[in-house]
């Protein structure tokens, strides 16, 4: 496979992963923004689905980017000057996964408006961290393949 074909195939896979990652973030944000009304427990139960989806998306992202022969391996092999950036992104995975897990556990304890508010604040910080990770990943893609990736809607 020539270099252009390899890059096109790699970019297609990265773009698909980035889109799924972004949709997971958007779903989480929509869940957190939903009104809790008079039933904080019901809000938390409904929000738990979005957190579970984000856990799955993040687990898929980690598995797919860190698997042998994956994007990070490709970057390290073909763009050794980007090794530190790739390792930084990999190092962000465990803390992000831990924060998603913490949010899932926190939702199980929400029983009043204060719990809803505290959970929303934690979720916003998580969403920020997920978006920053995604943006740093886009920078790595650009630097590795010298192309821009679509920012999404």
Q: What is the pLDDT of residues 93-127, one digit of tens each?
A: 999 999 999 999 999 999 999 999 999 999 999 99
Tell whether 11 is covered by a domain: yes
Number of structural domains found in the chain: 1
Query: Has residue 35 been placed in a domain?
Result: yes
Domain, as residue range, for 103: 3-145
User: Which pLDDT belongs to residue 88?
Assistant: 96
Is 47 within the bounds of a domain? yes
- Computed on alpha carbons and rounded to an integer, the radius of gyration of the chain in Å comes to 17
What is the secondary structure of 52-95 as a DSSP string? HHHHHHHHHHHHHHHSTTSHHHHHHHH-GGGHHHHHHHHHHHHH
Residue 41 CB coordination number (10 Å): 16
Residue 34 located in a structural domain: yes
The region of weakest confidence among 6-10, 11-15, 19-23, 121-125 is 6-10
CATH number of the structural domain spanning residue 79: 1.20.120
Distance from C-alpha of 151 to C-alpha of 74, rounded to nearest angstrom: 22
**Would you state the structure tokens that stand for residue 44, as one six-digit string?**
């938390």
Domain assignment present for 106: yes
- Two tokens at 35? 């009104």
39-72 confidence digits (pLDDT tens)? 999 999 999 999 999 999 999 999 988 888 888 8
In a domain, 125, yes or no: yes
Asked whether residue 150 is domain-assigned, the answer is no
């Amino acid at each position: 496979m020539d270099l252009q074909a390899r890059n096109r195939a790699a970019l297609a896979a990265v773009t698909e992963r980035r889109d799924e990652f972004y949709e997971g973030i958007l779903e989480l944000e929509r869940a957190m923004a939903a009104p809790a009304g008079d039933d904080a427990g019901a809000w938390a139960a409904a929000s738990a689905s979005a957190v579970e989806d984000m856990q799955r998306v993040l687990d898929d992202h980690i598995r797919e980017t860190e698997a042998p022969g994956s994007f990070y391996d490709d970057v390290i092999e073909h763009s050794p000057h980007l090794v530190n950036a790739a390792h930084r992104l990999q190092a962000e995975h465990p803390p992000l996964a831990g924060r998603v897990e913490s949010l899932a556990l926190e939702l199980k304890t929400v029983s009043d408006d204060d719990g809803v508010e505290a959970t929303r604040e934690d979720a916003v910080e998580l969403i920020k961290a997920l978006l920053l990770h995604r943006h740093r990943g886009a920078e790595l893609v650009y630097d590795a393949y010298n192309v821009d990736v679509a920012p999404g809607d």
